[in-house]
Amino acid sequence: MSPEPVKSQALKVRRLQDLPVEGKRVLVRVDYNVPMSGGRVADDTRVRETLPTLKRLISAGARVSLIAHLGRPKGKPEPKYSLKPVVSVLEKLLGQHVAFAPDCVGPEAEKAAAALQPGGVLLLENLRYHAGEEANDKAFAKSLSKLGEVFVQDAFGALHRAHASTAALPALLPSAVGLLVQKELEFLDRVIGHPERPFVAVIGGAKVSDKLGVLNKLVERVDALLIGGGMAYTFLAAQGVSIGKSLLEKAKMPDAQSIVEKAYARQLECLLPADHVAVKEIKAGAESTLTQGMAVPQDLIGVDIGPRTVEFFTEHIRSAKTVFWNGPMGIFEIDDFAKGTLSVAQAIAKATKSGATTIVGGGDSLAALAKAGLSGQVSHASTGGGASLELLEGKVLPGLAALAL
C-alpha cells in the first residue's frame, strides 16, 4: 500500500518518497535566497536544509537540476544577484562536483541538464533574471519544464509566491514536495491543529501590519500571547499608555485593541512589555534609560524589552509545551538593544531541552538564534518566514495549491 500523502490546509500533496526518480532527470526548486557578503555566501543555512532531498535523489541515481532565485534583480541579469557563489558551498556540503549554467532556460541550460550523469548535480542561474518568473508566465514555466522529467518542490520559503517556478511549473511535470517542505508542513500543521499545551506564541518585529493576520489566528489557539518589538508600542498606545517617540502605527491601533479584547474574551494571557530600554537616539553606544513601568517618557524611544518583561516572558516560555516565535523583541542588530531578544532565544532553547516543541520562524529570529550561539537548539527553524506566517493565518499557499492531488 502506498504511504499517505502529505496533508496541509485540507490539501493533499504527493511526497518525494512516492515519486519515481530513479535514473530520471529531476528538476528541483530550492530556496537559495541566501545572504551574501563580499561575493560569498554569508549564511549557508538554506543550502544545508536542502541536503536531505538532494542526497536522496543522488543516491537514487537521479540527474538533478536545481533552480532558485536570489534577491530582486527585476527581470534582468545583475552580477551581484548571481547564484554562482552557491556552487562552492554546495560542493563542500555534498562532497562532489556541482555544475553551473549561466542561464536557467534556453539551449545552454537544456544542454547542461542533458549532460548530467546519474547522481550528478547542476545549479542554474537566478530565475529572477527573467521577468517571466515573478509574472507567473506559463511560457517561461514551459521552458523550465524542459530541464527535467519530474519536478520536486523543496523551496518552502517561496510557496507563498504565485510565480512560474511555484504556481505554473507543477502542472507541466509529475510533481511532489521535497523532504524540507514535508518537515516544514509537519511542524507548522502541529502548531495549527494539534499543539501540546500550554501553547505560547512570542511575536515581535517592527509592525503590527506585518503580523496582524497571524496574531488574529494565534489569539484563537494559544494559551498565552507574548508581544514585544516595535509592534508592542502600537498595542500599548491602544491601551492608553504613553509610548514617547516609539514606533507607532496609529491606523492599526483599533486592530491591536481588537486582538487584546479577543484575548480577554478567551481568558488567555496577552502580555505586553512591563518595562523598556529607551533612548533619545537609535545608535550604538547611545545612553539608555530603563523605564520603571509600561510608559515610555515623552522624549524617548523604546528599543528593547526591559528585565522585568524578560523575566515574565521567560517564565511563560519555560512552562510551555509548544512555543512559536516570530520576530525580535527590540533592535537586536545593535548589541546594546539585543538583550531582550537574546534572552527569549535562550529561554526557547532551554524549553526545547526540557521537551517542548519549539518552532522559530522569520529571518530576524533565526539571525537572533545565531547571534546567541543557539542555531540548531530548537525543534524546528522555519526557512520561510512569510510562508510560515501565511500558513498559520490559514491562507492557501499558491505553491502548495499547485501541487494538490
Instruction: Tell me the pLDDT tens digit for each residue of 376-392.
Output: 899 998 888 788 888 88
- What is 153-202 written as a DSSP string? E--GGGTTS--IIIIIGGGGS-EEE-HHHHHHHHHHHHHHH---SSEEEE
Confidence of residue 3 (pLDDT cuts 50, 70, 90): very low
| For residue 1, pLDDT beyond 50 | no
* CA quadruple 49, 339, 38, 129: dihedral, nearest 10: 50
Helix then strand then coil, in percent of the chain rounded to 5, is 40, 20, 40
Query: In 10 A of CB 10, how many CB atoms?
Result: 8
Q: Options 3.40.720.10, 3.10.450.50, 3.40.50.1260, 3.30.465.10; which CATH number does 6-183 get?
A: 3.40.50.1260
> Cell digits for 176?
511532489
CA distance 232 to 243: 10
CA distances from 193 to 85, 187, 196, 241, 397 (A): 40, 10, 10, 35, 17
Phi, psi of 278 (to 5 degrees): -130, 150
Q: What is the DSSP letter of 294?
A: S
Confidence of residue 395 (pLDDT cuts 50, 70, 90): confident
Instruction: Tell me the pLDDT tens digit for each residue of 154-205.
Output: 999 999 999 999 999 999 999 999 999 999 998 888 787 889 999 999 999 9
Instruction: Tell me the pLDDT tens digit for each residue of 220-253.
Output: 999 999 999 999 999 999 999 999 999 999 999 9
The pTM of the full predicted model, rounded to 2 decimals, is 0.86
- CATH number, domain 195-374: 3.40.50.1260
CA distances from 400 to 10, 157, 177, 181, 397 (A): 11, 12, 9, 10, 5
- Taking residues 329-338, report their average pLDDT: 96
The number of angstroms, rounded, from the C-alpha of 336 to the middle of its chain's C-alpha atoms is 26
For the chain, what percent of residues have pLDDT higher than 90? 83
> Cell digits for 107?
539551449
Domain ranges of the chain: 6-183, 195-374
Query: Are both 6-183 and 195-374 of the same fold?
Result: yes
Are residues 181 and 9 in contact, defined by beta-carbon separation less than 8 angstroms? no
pLDDT at 363: 80
> Cell digits for 103?
542561464
pLDDT at 393: 82
Cell 543516491, residue?
59
- Taking residues 272-295, report their average pLDDT: 96
| For residue 54, pLDDT beyond 70 | yes
CA distance 309 to 44: 33
Interior angle at CA 9, CA 57 and CA 173, nearest 5 = 40
Phi, psi of 92 (to 5 degrees): -65, -45
- Taking residues 78-93, report their average pLDDT: 97
Return the active site residues. Answer: 46, 207, 363, 386
